[in-house]
A and B are shown apart, each in its own frame.
Chain A
């Protein structure tokens, strides 16, 4: 699944997306690596690995429709920063978490701006729905723009 196929296109397909919080049509093809993306002028879907610098994409956000962020292991948290960096730069396309994505990371990923999830192993739907809904409120600002508790307290 993670391998780059012909023409350098790889990544996940829309069928592998288990949860999606967007109404637009998903991009119907795979993603390219950051390096190939920067070389090609027409690609609209890219895949970020933990060591990639999401900032390299910022000049090209206009033509991007899908950014896939890979978590080879759930404990490598660089993808959370990559997601926020993109959302803070007002990237509005799909942000898909792929790889070792587990139930207990869903709410955090969502807060960092991910709006699609393609876990390596399909997650139990009931547990996942409960996990997305776990936190009625939050303490700090993030990409989801929820008003945090310190603001709610002051009207």
Chain B
């Protein structure tokens, strides 16, 4: 994985000092809260219902054991012994004191980590495929390109006060595991006539006006990635709406201009920027690539699995994913225990995951946008030992991509913008399906919950989505069906009138009953919905 050199370290250290200085000026009253807010936001510090929340960047979701140990230590030292992994492949802490935040950032910097640009109207942490470097279907590892863009976007002088936040994802396979087309810019590394380049999708997003990004250029040569991205951003910075924060995302600009006109303006800017010599040297990409080279996989490893223990066999079926190297798999650690808080991990669990990362996965793990952890390179022969350790730590939930593998935002339990709680709904749904034993039968079923229209829980992209709304002061939940964030990206549609909390849990069960009744062989919930449409589900819910 990528390691800092003296330049990267100096940048992060300078940032810690800058923030220490800003915090001092705030505490001394030299900065008003209005002036301090954008500065703390650019360091990942939000003021929430009960305390400050700090969001730590995990570039393209990749961590080593030392970093995971530090995340655990931070949970103990500055929070209440927990961390919360999020849909942006980051980690959040919910109980931070402002006075301690500079020390926390210094601790992070000591393991090559930071909270830079994890919030605010700037280019955010860049996300990627959580199976990068392990997936059999990828063209190349997308992370060197993500790292190149990480550097370019860090402290970008022109793009630190954009109309709104800006999120970039980079993938390099046709299977999309990063919700690429639901980002402000989605980049897919592609091959044309034997050369690599990047397809740019611009103007996707969730929030109150969800949109799937259109492709605005099918091929940007690799040495022009940065000028092209810069052109996309400059057009947005100059013309994105600033009169209404709900219309300020780039998706609205692309939508209002039309993708052709937006693309035309980008091309014009791009041609100009090419004359400015702003692209990083190709040698830099070549320097970055070896950091992401394959670890030394062993050859001739056994591939058989002893399935005599049914619990272990179930976990393997659900949580182990094929790998490009024979004898290996990627193992997904579910942070979705039945009745638990999706994405939460205790400090003790993080320490254990760090140990397992070191022992079984070439010292590398990943955070997924589905709020789980991946050990990307595990020997099949080690799986049983790994599972035994995970089980002892309460981390062996066999439920990846099932209805129990719920994405949920913090909701009204923590978030000041929430209309309704998300976490208790997630807890009750996983309990319901664990108790009725249907989880396995339902197979792949992606359920996503947001506590308000901002859609942090990706409800638009759920096979089943749940959206918390406020109905005359009472928490109410709308049900949505048919979304997908994969390569077949689609936006979910609302079924009809909402439900109260017990009602939404029943409603989820009702729609799964319709699926079980109607499905053809081999169909997932999403496939059945797409074939039969909304009506049969509505009929069962409201008929």
Q: In the complex, which of the residues A127, A136, A150 contacts B280, with contact meaning CB atoms closer than 8 Å?
A: A150
A154→B287 contact, CB < 8 A:
yes
B325 to chain A, nearest CB (A): 31
- State A40–B234 Cα separation when bound (angstroms): 29
- Is B25's CB under 8 angstroms from A151's CB? no
The complex places the Cα of A134 from the Cα of B281 at a distance, in Å, of 25
Confirm or deny: B154 has a beta carbon within 8 angstroms of a beta carbon on chain A: yes
Of A81, A104, A107, A153, the contact of B284 (CB 8 Å cutoff): A153
Per-position 1/0 for B271-288, Cβ under 8 A of A: 010001110110110010
Asked whether A92 is an interface residue with its Cβ less than 8 Å from the other chain, the reply is no
> Contacts of B160 on A, CB cut-off 8 Å?
77, 80, 108
Which residue of chain B lies nearest to A136 when distances are taken between CB atoms in the complex?
A: B10
Do the beta carbons of A112 and B14 come within 8 Å of each other?
Answer: no
Residue pair A88, B276 in contact (C-beta under 8 Å): yes
Assess the A77–B25 pair: CB atoms within 8 A. no
Q: Are A102 and B155 in contact (CB under 8 A)?
A: no
Of residues 244 to 282 in B, which have CB atoms within 8 Å of A's CB atoms?
Answer: 272, 276-278, 280-281
B121-134 interface bits toward A, Cβ cutoff 8 Å, 1 = contact, 0 = none:
10000000000000
0 or 1 for each of A135-155: is its CB under 8 Å from B? (1 = yes): 111111110000011111110
- Taking a contact as CB atoms closer than 8 A, the residue among A84, A102, A142, A154 that contacts B35 in the complex is A102
How far apart sit A153 and B234, CA to CA, in the bound complex (Å)? 27
List which B1-28 residues lie within 8 A (CB) of chain A.
5, 7-8, 10-11, 14, 17-18, 21-22, 25
Which listed residue, B22, B39, B151, B276, touches A139 by the CB 8 Å rule?
B151
Report B-chain residues with C-beta under 8 Å of the C-beta of A19. none
Does B157 contact A150, Cβ atoms closer than 8 Å? no
Chain A interface size, under 10 / 10 to 19 / 20 to 34 / 35 or more: 35 or more
| Residues 204 to 253 of chain B near chain A (Cβ within 8 Å) | 226, 234, 237-238, 242
Whether A76 touches B35, Cβ cut-off 8 Å, given contacts A136-B10, A153-B284, is no
Quick check: is B362 within 8 A (CB to CB) of the other chain? no
Residue contact A139 to B11, C-beta cutoff 8 Å? yes
CB distance from B66 to the nearest CB of A (A): 23
> Does chain B have a CB within 8 A of A4?
no
Assign chain B's interface to a size class. Answer: 35 or more
Choose among A75, A77, A130, A149 the residue with the greatest number of B CB atoms under 10 Å from its CB: A77
* Contact in complex: B161, A76 (CB < 8 Å): yes
Listed residue (B39, B157, B272, B284) with the most chain A CB atoms within 10 angstroms of its CB: B157
With a CB–CB cut-off of 8 A, which chain B residues contact A84?
158, 234
- A residues 18-59 near B (Cβ < 8 Å) are 50, 53
CA distance A52 to B272 in the complex (A): 20
B238 touches A81 (CB 8 A): yes
Residue of B nearest to A80 (CB): B158
Contacts of B97 in A (CB 8 A): none
In chain B between 169 and 223, which residues have their CB closer than 8 angstroms to a CB of chain A?
A: none
Partner of B238, one of A78, A103, A136, A142: A78
Complexed CA–CA distance, A150 and B162 (Å): 24
Closest Cβ–Cβ distance, residue B89 to chain A (whole Å) = 21
Minimum C-beta distance from A31 to chain B (A):
21
Would A149 and B161 count as touching, CB distance under 8 A? Answer: no
User: Are A141 and B14 in touch, CB under 8 angstroms?
Assistant: no
* Main SS at interface, chain B: helix
A127 to B20, CA, bound (A): 12
A111 in contact (CB, < 8 A): yes
Closest B residue to A138 using CB positions: B155
**Is B156 an interface residue, CB under 8 A from the partner?**
yes
| Contact (A81, B30) CB under 8 Å given A104-B22, A149-B151 | no
User: Are A127 and B25 closer than 8 Å at their CB atoms?
Assistant: yes
A137 to chain B, nearest CB (A): 6
Residue of A nearest to B242 (CB): A76
Q: Does B339 contact A (CB under 8 A)?
A: no
Bound CA–CA A112/B160 (angstroms): 11
The yes or no answer to B152 lying at the interface (CB within 8 A) is yes
Q: Are B21 and A127 in contact (CB under 8 A)?
A: yes
Q: Provide the residues of chain A in CB contact with B242, threshold 8 Å.
A: 50, 76, 78
Report B-chain residues with C-beta under 8 Å of the C-beta of A150: 151, 280-281, 284
Which A residues are CB-close (under 8 A) to B161? 74-77, 80, 105
Cross-chain contact B154 with A139 (CB below 8 angstroms): yes
A15 to chain B, nearest CB (A): 24
Asked if A137 meets B7 with Cβ closer than 8 Å, knowing A76-B242, A78-B238, the reply is yes
Please determine whether A75 and B151 come into contact, CB atoms closer than 8 angstroms: no
User: Distance (Å) between the CB of A134 and the closest chain B CB?
Assistant: 6
Residue B159 CB within 8 A of the other chain: yes
Contact partners of A105 in chain B: CB under 8 A: 161
* Minimum CB–CB distance for A91 against chain B, Å: 14
Is A77's CB under 8 angstroms from B11's CB? no
Considering the complex, give the chain A residue whose CB is closest to the CB of B237. Answer: A81
From residue 103 to 120 of chain A, which have CB atoms closer than 8 A to chain B? 103-105, 107-109, 111-112
B443 within 8 A of A: no
Residues of B within 8 Å of A154, CB to CB, are: 281, 283-284, 287
Query: Which residue of A has the minimal Cβ distance to B279?
Result: A141
A84-B233 Cα distance, complex, nearest whole Å: 13
- Complex-state Cα separation, A76 to B242, whole angstroms: 8
Interface pair B155/A153, CB less than 8 Å apart: no
A109's closest neighbor in chain B, by CB?
B157
Q: Which residues on the A side are within 8 Å of B424 (C-beta)?
A: none
Contacts A75-B161, A124-B30 given: A140-B156 contact, CB under 8 Å? yes
- Additional 20 contacts, C-beta under 8 A, given A108-B155, A149-B7: A75-B161, A76-B242, A77-B121, A77-B237, A78-B238, A80-B237, A81-B234, A84-B158, A84-B234, A102-B35, A105-B161, A108-B158, A127-B21, A134-B17, A134-B18, A139-B152, A139-B155, A140-B280, A142-B157, A153-B5
| 14 A/B residue pairs, CB under 8 Å, sorted by A | A74-B38, A76-B242, A81-B237, A104-B22, A108-B155, A108-B160, A112-B158, A130-B21, A139-B151, A139-B154, A140-B226, A140-B278, A142-B158, A154-B284
Please list the 8 inter-chain residue pairs (A to B) with the smallest Cβ-Cβ separation, ordered nearest first. Answer: A77-B161, A111-B157, A150-B280, A141-B278, A150-B284, A108-B157, A149-B7, A80-B158
